[in-house]
A = this chain, B = another copy of it.
């Protein structure tokens, strides 16, 4: 039974959506006897996680559910140790960061986050999609994988230098253990006896796309960890007693705990996953209304009846997520289009090999993988390894097409990309999630430095296609080129297919004709905003032309430049930081013209797409106002 005063509240969003949640005041009571009430606390926290993700429209349910016990217990223990020893410096940090909804729910349960803020997840000035230090209580920015143990070491070294005692607990994902930095960071901690550190691995066994064991098996972790000089322990990561028995204040060695958890625990439908050729459906993304209601009722039912989590609740309604995450049905998606374009090219070009770093669903390599498994290499979350493998594939006459998110691909294996470029081979790098939107995950995922970085490297073309026609043409261009190419893909794309496009460096593609203003765009995000801005301007009596120019920063052809002579204002839209790109190219090529840049000038904000586009003055309304002059 849910006790009096601990009943769930209903939060009604402005949109009219009713969300079930437990107020912080409920937890305050339960924390009075944490151990006795732990089951209720963990069920209630899950309800809050689910509701905050429902309000946000996106977020990682599976990992938030697998890790919530680890987070609740780690934070509670650190609080107790601090109470016992007030001068102790305590830090809890999540390395993977996409368990953010669980972290916020745990912080809320401890009274560190207010009720209202829970429903500002992934909103401008709300709770970031991955943890950021601007939220009080979050010690460091995370979201790019593999950095957590190093970060923990830094905190401990700092405290030692200040002669302060400290205890740091870091939460990792098991898929994250594929990152080299994890293994790079272990031996030094052992050398310096950084016994202040406890690593907890949320070992839910399923990474972004599928089972860890099917992606890139971790081997014998005990040997690998102990061989690096750490203590290795295992426990049931969803169980209070099991977790508290392994997390100790005093440790003789830096300690690495493999906490075996269940992804999606404890909602029946989220816990079952066959993995055979399917994606795990609850990795990222929110639930639709009926699935949300079903999951909430199951959790409330379990809570009310105090049902042990390992038992199935027969009365619980089934979730039906078949359609929600089917890649084919994602609206206006460049990813879906890419999956088909890529497959078609693999059919034509037997020398093409696809490489993927556990983002098959998000970078559209799944059709290629199904059809040509012998020409598909799954690197796991190991971008440096993937890029160096591509290097020698290319030296052997193969054309590797390397996939990841643009932010990871441009910054994690930069030296490996450079090394490949020094070999003058042809490799195609495809970076997804490029630019400002989707804006919910935050700057660890919103690539805005990739253009500058790739254009700082020698012998590589950078292309940002604006429509599916250009996306296809980009791959054709890259396959015909003797150089390497970086294709910068906005994951949320424009479904328009240009029938005829003259796709070559130096020449812009005219998409709208009229007036004295020319808008120069690259990428689907900017094209969509420019289209809308041109309509707004037109309604206002001002006509504007639109050209897409996908060959970022490249030399412009004379005839194209002549065609721009008639405009009084040339406005270049850049969905990245100002370092390099089209603005520089157009300004240099048209020294006597009024060339203006509208683009991202600072770190991208987290939030809903419309909020963030508006904040950065890149939405249609602001573009229209600015373009007019």
Copies of the protein in its oligomer: 2
- Name 19 extra pairs, CB < 8 A, besides A140-B423, A157-B393: A140-B395, A144-B415, A144-B419, A150-B392, A151-B392, A154-B388, A154-B391, A179-B180, A180-B180, A180-B185, A185-B382, A187-B218, A187-B219, A188-B379, A223-B227, A451-B456, A452-B453, A455-B456, A591-B591
Is A141 a contact partner of B227 (Cβ separation < 8 A)? no
Is A184 a contact partner of B191 (Cβ separation < 8 A)? no
Mark the stretch among A28-36, A538-546, A576-584 that contacts chain B. Answer: A576-584
Nearest CB in chain B: distance from A329 CB, A:
32
Q: How far is the CA of A385 from the CA of B422 in the complex (A)?
A: 26
**Is A323's CB within 8 Å of the partner chain B?**
no
Mark the stretch among A73-81, A266-274, A405-413 that contacts chain B. Answer: A405-413
- Binary interface encoding of chain A residues 178-221 relative to chain B, with 1 for a CB under 8 A from any of its CBs, else 0: 11111111111011000000000000000000000000111111
Contacts of A384 in B (CB 8 A): 146-147, 150, 180-181, 184
Contacts of A133 in B (CB 8 A): 395, 423
Nearest CB in chain B: distance from A205 CB, A:
15
**Is A17's CB within 8 Å of the partner chain B?**
no
Which residue on chain B has the smallest CB distance to residue A186? B219
Contacts of A144 in B (CB 8 A): 415, 419
The listed residue with most B CB atoms (<10 A of its CB), out of A146, A184, A227, A449, is: A184
Q: How far is the CA of A142 from the CA of B420 in the complex (A)?
A: 10
Q: How far is the CA of A219 from the CA of B188 in the complex (A)?
A: 10
Q: How far is the CA of A169 from the CA of B61 in the complex (A)?
A: 44
Q: How far is the CA of A458 from the CA of B580 in the complex (A)?
A: 13
Nearest CB in chain B: distance from A409 CB, A:
10
**Is A302's CB within 8 Å of the partner chain B?**
no
Nearest CB in chain B: distance from A189 CB, A:
9
**Is A626's CB within 8 Å of the partner chain B?**
no
Point out the residue from B158, B221, B388, B390 that lies within 8 Å of A396, measured CB to CB.
B158
Q: How far is the CA of A154 from the CA of B155 in the complex (A)?
A: 38
Point out the residue from B178, B180, B224, B449 that lies within 8 Å of A456, measured CB to CB.
B449
**Is A512's CB within 8 Å of the partner chain B?**
no
Is A392 a contact partner of B152 (Cβ separation < 8 A)? yes
Q: How far is the CA of A221 from the CA of B183 in the complex (A)?
A: 12
Q: How far is the CA of A171 from the CA of B368 in the complex (A)?
A: 34
Contact residues of A: prevailing secondary structure: helix
Contacts of A291 in B (CB 8 A): none
Point out the residue from B151, B190, B603 that lies within 8 Å of A219, measured CB to CB.
B190
Q: How far is the CA of A393 from the CA of B155 in the complex (A)?
A: 6
Which residue on chain B has the smallest CB distance to residue A224? B227
Is A220 a contact partner of B226 (Cβ separation < 8 A)? yes
Q: How far is the CA of A191 from the CA of B418 in the complex (A)?
A: 27
Which residue on chain B has the smallest CB distance to residue A409? B415
Nearest CB in chain B: distance from A589 CB, A:
13
**Is A173's CB within 8 Å of the partner chain B?**
no
Nearest CB in chain B: distance from A499 CB, A:
35
Is A181 a contact partner of B178 (Cβ separation < 8 A)? no
Nearest CB in chain B: distance from A145 CB, A:
10
Report A430-468 residues with CB < 8 Å from chain B CB.
443-444, 448-449, 451-453, 455-459
Nearest CB in chain B: distance from A372 CB, A:
10
Report A124-143 residues with CB < 8 Å from chain B CB.
132-133, 139-142
Which residue on chain B has the smallest CB distance to residue A139? B395
Is A140 a contact partner of B392 (Cβ separation < 8 A)? yes
Q: How far is the CA of A189 from the CA of B563 in the complex (A)?
A: 54
Is A388 a contact partner of B458 (Cβ separation < 8 A)? no
Is A412 a contact partner of B415 (Cβ separation < 8 A)? yes
**Is A374's CB within 8 Å of the partner chain B?**
yes
Q: How far is the CA of A378 from the CA of B218 in the complex (A)?
A: 28
Is A422 a contact partner of B218 (Cβ separation < 8 A)? no
**Is A297's CB within 8 Å of the partner chain B?**
no
Contacts of A328 in B (CB 8 A): none
The listed residue with most B CB atoms (<10 A of its CB), out of A157, A223, A584, is: A157
Known contacts A150-B384, A223-B223; A396 and B190 CB within 8 A of each other: no
Known contacts A185-B385, A190-B217, A422-B141; A158 and B222 CB within 8 A of each other: no
Contacts of A157 in B (CB 8 A): 353, 377, 389, 393
**Is A18's CB within 8 Å of the partner chain B?**
no
**Is A153's CB within 8 Å of the partner chain B?**
yes
Q: How far is the CA of A227 from the CA of B220 in the complex (A)?
A: 4
**Is A367's CB within 8 Å of the partner chain B?**
no
The listed residue with most B CB atoms (<10 A of its CB), out of A147, A179, A386, A448, is: A147
**Is A375's CB within 8 Å of the partner chain B?**
yes
Is A452 a contact partner of B456 (Cβ separation < 8 A)? yes
12 A-B pairs with CB atoms under 8 Å apart are A147-B388, A150-B386, A150-B416, A152-B392, A154-B396, A158-B396, A179-B180, A182-B183, A184-B384, A188-B378, A223-B227, A227-B227
Q: How far is the CA of A150 from the CA of B449 in the complex (A)?
A: 26
Nearest CB in chain B: distance from A109 CB, A:
25
Q: How far is the CA of A378 from the CA of B188 in the complex (A)?
A: 8
